[in-house]
Homo-oligomer: A and B are copies of this chain.
Amino acid sequence: MGRETNAFVDKLRGYGPLGDEDTAALEAATARSRSYPRKHDLIREGDRPGLLFVMLKGWACRYKILPNGTRQVMAFLMPGDCCDIPANVLAHMDHSIQTITPAVVATISQADIEKIFDAYPRITKAMYISQLVDEGTLRAWIVSMGRRTSIERVAHLMCELYLRARSVDSSEQLVLPITQALLADALGMTPVHINRVIKALREAGAMTLSRGSLQIADPEKLGHIAGFDENYLHRRTRSATG
């Protein structure tokens, strides 16, 4: 087979120059991957961390179940994203990670991460920057939850997911694997109210969500409703890296 693109390598390359030996090391580290069905927990709250998960295909999310039984989703992971909790700092996971779609994910052991960090400073730096960008996404999320109306909130998240998905899959008509229940868990709302908001967005001609997949009818309109400023995503044009 030909050389398959590795979403993780692509992403890191966007954050800093990588040499051939860097990409080779990354590809070697993520060579062994596993497939998982949807709704499969990759790691659960309370587990001992220690592996770096690298999403190669499919989506996942970080979430936490609260004592009252409600669920909060804190992040969406797409191809190229990775998640890492350093085992030497944290004894137990404070949240879980679950696939949203069937997914292919590679895991890198703590020892191998250490080796890579020691031997490939450019990788360390790129991952540091990747971390900074992820943090910006979380901050934007906090802003949404704190100060945006529910319709703005939904529209804003859809804009973010649309742009992020688009940078790993440039299909013409993107379809995002989102259910109303998942949206509710991500935005701290009830499924019932999410449904009403989505109806409003549908009637406005901005987007349609049905049976687990979302279609953006009018990205411009959606962005306008959300008051969206894509600056925070820190996306770079991909053309330079091709």
Interface residues of A (CB under 8 A from B): 15-16, 62, 64, 66-68, 70-72, 74-75, 84-86, 88-92, 94-95, 117-118, 121, 124-125, 127-129, 131-136, 138-143, 145-148, 187-188, 227, 229, 231-232, 234, 236
Contacts and interface: CB of A to CB of B under 8 A. Distances in A.
A142 B145 contact: yes
11 contacts: A15-B86, A62-B139, A64-B139, A66-B227, A89-B132, A90-B234, A94-B136, A94-B140, A117-B128, A138-B138, A145-B146
Contacts of A227: 66-67
Nearest to A65: B147
Contacts of A92: 231
A139 B64 CA distance: 10
Contacts of A72: 142-143, 146-147
A129 B229 CA distance: 29
A136 B134 CA distance: 11
Nearest to A67: B227
Could you say how many copies of this chain the assembly holds? 2
B146 A232 contact: no
A146 B84 contact: no
Contacts of A62: 139
Contact of A66 (B131, B147, B188): B147
Contacts of A90: 136, 231, 234
Contact of A231 (B67, B94, B131): B94
Contacts of A16: 88
A116 to B, nearest CB: 11
Given A89-B234, A142-B72, A131 B135 contact: yes
Contacts of A142: 72, 74, 138, 141-142, 145
Contact of A127 (B66, B85, B91, B128): B128
A235 B117 CA distance: 23
Given A64-B143, A139-B138, A236-B89, A121 B117 contact: yes
